[in-house]
Structure formats: C-alpha cells, structure tokens
A and B are shown apart, each in its own frame.
Chain A
C-alpha cells in the first residue's frame, strides 16, 4: 500500500471510530444530565436497596454506589469522595462500595462503547455485574460483623 493510501485509510478508520463513539456518548451524557438535574438518582437509590442489603451495604453507601455504577469512578469521584467524607459510611460500607465499584462502574458507557466496536454487550454487562456482586458478597461475609463499628443507625 502506498504511503498516501495508508494515511487515508488510517485517518478514515480513526475518524469513523470516533464518530461512532460520539453517537453513543453524546445521547448518554444528555440522559445522565437529565437524571442528575431532576433528582431521579435519589429515586433510583431505592431500587438498589434490596441488592445493597444482600451485599451488606447500608443505606448511606447506596448513593455513592449508584453514582459510581452509572457515572464511573473518575466522573463520579466528586460525589463518591464527598459521601465518604460526610462520615456516614463506616469502614465496612466503604470497603464494600469500593470492591463493587472497582469491578463494576460506568456500566452503560463501557458496555455501549465496546458493543459499538463489536463485542457482545449482554455478556459484558451481565458478567461484570454478577462478578462484582458475588465478590462483594464474599468480602462482606469475610469481613465479619464483629469488626463493624457500631453506629447508632442514623439513617432515617
């Protein structure tokens, strides 16, 4: 292939990839912004409650968990760190939220961008959520109730 042909093909390839990704990312960011602005996150937190219970994460850990799952660790870092610093999560909650989130975060964006280039999105999403859930349950059991600092259950 000539150098010119190589350059055209390369630029075409990278341009097409970026265009494809932008078609996913722009609508996604719009949806996320609406979720944020209309306080739908608080409502979604309630949906997480039964799953949180099974993993041993208490109510105060659910909001940072949800933010991380939807927005990711980097974008969500402000909210996540703020929730931790507000001091309502104990050591166990913090550990469990971290275990779940490092394995499973920004799941919509990550799944869609990899699906866009040809991976199986369903397998990606379900495997990631299941593995993160199972490991969090395991760590939760290992941690043991005894080490949990007893807080007055300040949650409403």
Chain B
C-alpha cells in the first residue's frame, strides 16, 4: 500500500508540474494582455459570438486555448479573467465536451474510429450544451 501511495504521490507531483508549465505562461500572457489593453480588443471582437453562451468576449480565448492546447491552458486563462459562478459552470461544461482536440483525436484515431464522427460530435455538443446552459446560468451582467 505504501508503494502505491508513494508512486501516486509522485504522479501527482509530476502532473502538477506539467500543469504549472502550461498554466503559468498562459496566465502571464492573459494578465499582460489585460494590463496593456489587448484583451479588451479580443473581448470586444468576440462579444457577439460569446453572448450566445451568456459569456463575456474574453471567454473566447479560454475556449480556443482549451480546444487547441488542453484544459490546463484553459484554466490558466479562466483564472486570469473574471467570470461569475454561473459563467464558470457554463464554460466548464463546454470545455468538458470538447478540449485537447489534437491530442485526443489522435488517440481516438488509433482505435480505428473515424474522426469525422467524433469531432463534429464533440464540437456540436460543446455548442449545444453551451447555448442551453448559457440561457440558464450564463448572462452578461
């Protein structure tokens, strides 16, 4: 039992290290964008689209990072911007269905299942659930 706990502990440390390596640069980038005004422009540009999900425009950055990189990158951006509890739940739901698309699609492909089914399914569910949840819990203050 001690050995299992030890190797689990080190696995946890390794995972935390991996997560820090992704979260720190993303967080810094978003903080810098936010200080020097770039974030505002991004937010303004995506505001009409993100409104569908009851999310502020900055949330577009979170969705892109989550889908292209991974959930840790999305987390780094989420903690750097401010969202209400409802908006956090909406964006977490959306990201739950669709994230790390490059890496995870590669794994799915290895099992012989077509990406042409899996990708539209994931992105479609992200949008569908995002719209529904956004109506219920999102909302721009």
Q: Chain A interface (Cβ within 8 Å of chain B)?
A: 1, 6, 10, 13-14, 17-18, 21-22, 25-34, 36-38, 73-74, 77, 80-81, 84, 91, 94-95, 97-99, 102-104, 110, 113-114, 117-120, 123-124, 127-128, 131, 135
Contacts and interface: CB of A to CB of B under 8 A. Distances in A.
A103 to B, nearest CB: 6
A154 B108 CA distance: 25
B117 A95 contact: yes
Nearest to A107: B96
Contacts of A110: 71, 96
Interface of B: 1, 3-5, 7-9, 11-13, 15-16, 19-20, 23-24, 27-28, 31, 35, 71, 75-76, 78-80, 83, 85, 88-89, 91-93, 95-97, 100, 103-104, 107-108, 110-113, 117-118, 121-122, 125, 129, 133, 137
Given A13-B80, A119-B85, A30 B5 contact: yes
A74 B104 contact: yes
A131 B12 contact: no
Contacts of A98: 108, 111, 113, 118
